[in-house]
């Protein structure tokens, strides 16, 4: 793991923009991939570098980057993107370097042709719920902008990580933000934090947005329009409402239940992040038990097939034995019949020889045959 570093000065870690590849963008910022050369013969992991755009170098965006850098340095959780460095670029703009992940969930969903399978949704959901529980319960922080594009995926969904803390807010001991300055993406915002909402701003706002991420993974569409080309449309009357789901197979029912629970209009009816974790872990156990039951069923079915196979083999063997016995009996009968026939022929031949003997010798005694001397 790279050691988090903060540096401002001549020994810069982050190169100029032309030397990096752009991999994303956000409000007032662009994100670049920074490849790092080996150190002492050891390969080093790449960084993701967030830079302010020249057109948006006003104090508000710079403040967001300051807030994000300050928070990331303090946050230590496996499901939150890791801090690497924070420094000034050659032109005086600030750069925030973080660990680099393969792709955002939002970008991944844009490439999908079918909803994510339930076990993947459960995996991503559990990772993000763990991050939110850490933020809400231990750090007393509201993320404030939960959406698929702020969730990063490492490897083949090995781990999901929460990123982009530029609009995060502090929560009091009751999980409430009293400043009333929520700044999030409207399409993913809870009804109480919208401009026309009645508040208050609590940790349950993140839970509503989390529920809409579940919707994205089940439908491949952002809420509530169902079309990614309308992401900038903020006037739709469906904002802050639960979007309708298409018909999904029965295996999605636990995810659908959680989606409905998280997107309740009344924030008091929504679960906490901790309750989401318990639900998903229980769901994981149920899935495991179902897999065990399925495996046992397959074993029993296979055992039945094996028993049937060997039963058929025994029956076939018995039939083969019977057939061989019948063939042997038939062969024995044929041999016995042949032997009887041969015996009868021998007796007939012996009788003829006896007659010849009797005729020759008895007639010679009577003188019917002349002696050789005569």
**Rounded Cα gap, residues 182 and 184, in angstroms:** 6
Burial 90-127 (b: 16+ CB within 10 A, else e): eeeebbbbbbbbeebbbebbeeeeebbebeebbbbbbb
The answer to whether 259 and 214 have CB atoms below 8 angstroms apart is yes
Distance CA 69, CA 184 (A): 18
Distance CA 169, CA 87 (A): 23
> What is the Cα–Cα distance from 33 to 48, expressed in whole angstroms?
5
> How far is the CA of 103 from the CAs of 135, 149, 230, in angstroms?
23, 9, 22
Q: Could you count the other beta carbons within 10 Å of the beta carbon of residue 361? A: 10
CA distances (Å), origin 283, targets 125, 249, 257, 324: 11, 16, 11, 60
Concatenated DSSP letters of 266-330: SGGGSPPHHHHHHHHHHHHHHHHHHHHHHHHHHHHHHHHHHHHHHHHHHHHHHHHHHHHHHHHHH
Whether 266 sits among the annotated catalytic residues: the reply is: no
Q: Rounded CA gap, 214 and 263, in Å? A: 10
Cα gap 175→162, rounded to integer Å? 19
Contact 7/13 with Cβ under 8 angstroms? yes
Nearest alpha-carbon partner for 338 in 327, 350, 346, 349: 346
Rg of the chain over Cα atoms, rounded to whole angstroms, equals: 44
Please list the alpha-helical segments (H only) found in 11-117: 59-74, 105-111
Q: Which of 66, 70, 127, 145 is catalytic?
A: 145
Write out the catalytic residue numbers: 145
């Amino acid at each position: 793991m790279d050691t988090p570093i903060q540096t401002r000065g001549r020994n810069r870690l982050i190169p100029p923009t032309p030397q990096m590849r752009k991999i994303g963008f956000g409000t007032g910022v662009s994100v670049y991939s920074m490849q790092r050369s080996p150190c002492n013969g050891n390969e080093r992991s790449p960084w993701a570098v967030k830079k302010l755009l020249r057109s948006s170098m006003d104090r508000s965006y710079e403040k967001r980057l300051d807030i994000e850098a300050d928070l990331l340095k303090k946050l230590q959780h496996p499901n939150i993107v890791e801090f690497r460095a924070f420094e000034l670029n050659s032109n005086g703009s600030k750069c925030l370097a973080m660990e680099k992940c393969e792709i955002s969930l939002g970008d991944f969903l844009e490439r999908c042709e079918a909803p994510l399978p339930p076990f993947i949704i459960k995996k991503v959901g559990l990772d993000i719920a763990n991050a939110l529980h850490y933020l809400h319960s231990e750090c007393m922080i509201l993320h404030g902008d939960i959406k698929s594009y702020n969730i990063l995926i490492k490897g083949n969904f090995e781990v999901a990580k929460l990123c982009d803390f530029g609009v995060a807010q502090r929560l009091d001991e009751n999980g409430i933000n009293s400043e009333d300055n929520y700044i999030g993406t409207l399409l993913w915002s809870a009804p109480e934090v919208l401009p026309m909402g009645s508040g208050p701003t609590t940790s349950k706002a993140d839970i509503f947005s989390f529920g809409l991420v579940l919707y994205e993974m089940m439908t491949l569409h952002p809420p509530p329009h169902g079309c990614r080309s309308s992401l900038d449309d903020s006037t739709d009357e469906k904002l802050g409402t639960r979007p309708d789901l298409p018909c999904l197979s029965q295996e999605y029912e636990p995810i659908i239940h959680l989606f409905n629970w998280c997107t309740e209009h009344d924030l008091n009816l929504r679960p906490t992040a901790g309750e989401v974790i318990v639900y998903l872990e229980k769901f994981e156990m149920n899935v495991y038990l179902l897999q065990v039951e399925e495996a046992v069923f397959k074993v029993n079915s296979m055992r039945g097939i094996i028993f049937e196979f060997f039963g058929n083999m025994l029956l076939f063997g018995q039939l083969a034995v019977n057939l061989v016995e019948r063939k042997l009996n038939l062969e024995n009968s044929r041999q016995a019949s042949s032997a009887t026939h041969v015996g009868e022929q021998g007796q007939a031949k012996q009788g003829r020889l006896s007659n010849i003997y009797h005729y020759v010798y008895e007639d010679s005694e009577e003188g019917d045959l002349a002696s050789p001397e005569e």
